[in-house]
Amino acid sequence: MKTLTVNGHDLTCAQVATTDFPLDVSIADDARKRCRASRALLEKMMTERRTLYGITTGFGDSVDTAVDPAGADSLQ
């Protein structure tokens, strides 16, 4: 079984498209740390009631519609 490692820098659609399945996917430790930091920043911004397109607002024509942070999970 081939393993693809996601590191946030060089994985291409072509690599995924030409890979035989089943496929084992791993996440590099550094990428995992960056994801956690990104999530922490997102949660901080939501706590601050910041306007975040598609997270605390609707999409497209609904961009002016505020979404309560408590309901953001269901929007996603």
pLDDT, tens only, 18-76: 888 888 889 999 999 999 999 999 889 988 888 888 888 878 888 888 877 676 667 66
- More confident call, 55 vs 9: 9
What are the residues facing 2 on neighbouring strands?
A: 23
Q: Structure pTM?
A: 0.66
pLDDT tier at 15, thresholds 50, 70, 90: confident
What CA–CA distance (Å, rounded) separates 9 from 24?
Answer: 18
Token couple for 15: 């690599």
47: exposed, middle or buried (Cβ count in 10 Å: 0-12, 13-18, 19+): exposed
Can you give the pLDDT at residue 36?
Answer: 97
As a residue count, the chain comes to: 76
**Sign of the dihedral defined by the CA atoms of residues 14, 17, 23, 26, in that order:** positive
**Residue whose entry in the numeric block shows the structure tokens 């397109």:** 53
